[in-house]
Amino acid sequence: MNKPIDSTMKESDKKTLQSPPAPLRGRPATEEEIAWHAFRRQSEQETPKRLEEAAKYLSGMISIAFTIFVSRDEAVFQRGEDSNAVTVACLFWLLSLVATLFVIFPLRWRQVSQSAQDIGRVHRASMRLKYGLLMAGVCLFMFALGVLAWIFVARA
């Protein structure tokens, strides 16, 4: 898109439009730059494994804490002024467990196996989904613990 030179333009703008653009100059990547690009690529490819490991540990913590809470005292679930809050907290607890388990177990994705672009697109989409589910699991778990702390600590 060449702009016509008119009389209302500044002198510097006229010179810029009249002079040819500076040539692009490149250089081969250094060994360090190549190593950093390889590191980035490798860490991006290992992201699913790290998310799944984090989800395994979190689902284990959720399961253990929920089992201890439920089996310790059955009077917690008896009718009282806080029984509805305890039930809601347990529901959030179980939803957090389900969310983290969906991170661990693979979902079916459709992709063109010969296309690097399509493989990358599916990889990015699955990482966004797994990260979102992991964050949802963390938030639901923390909310459930907060409700229980409010019931048993703050109101005691």
Least reliable range by pLDDT among 6-20, 47-61, 100-114, 139-153 = 6-20
Cβ(61)–Cβ(96) below 8 Å:
no
Q: At CB < 8 A and 24+ separation, what contacts does 152-156 make?
A: 155/82
Q: How confident is the model at residue 13 (pLDDT cuts 50, 70, 90)?
A: low
Higher pLDDT, residue 100 or 148: 100
Residue with tokens 């639901």: 140
Sequence-distant (6+) residues with CB within 8 A of 62 are 93, 96, 97, 100, 137, 141
Check residue 7 and give its pLDDT: 61
Q: How far apart are CA 148 and CA 145, in angstroms?
A: 5
Calculate what percentage of the chain has a pLDDT beyond 70: 79
Tens-place pLDDT, residues 121-131: 888 888 999 99
Tens-place pLDDT, residues 60-85: 999 998 888 877 766 666 656 677 88
pLDDT of residue 2 exceeding 60, the answer is: no
Check residue 150 and give its pLDDT: 86
Check residue 52 and give its pLDDT: 92
Give the Cα-Cα-Cα angle 79, 80, 84 (nearest 5 degrees): 80
Check residue 113 and give its pLDDT: 73
Average pLDDT, the chain: 82
Closest C-alpha to 91, from 56, 57, 66? 66
Check residue 100 and give its pLDDT: 94
Sequence-distant (6+) residues with CB within 8 A of 31 are none
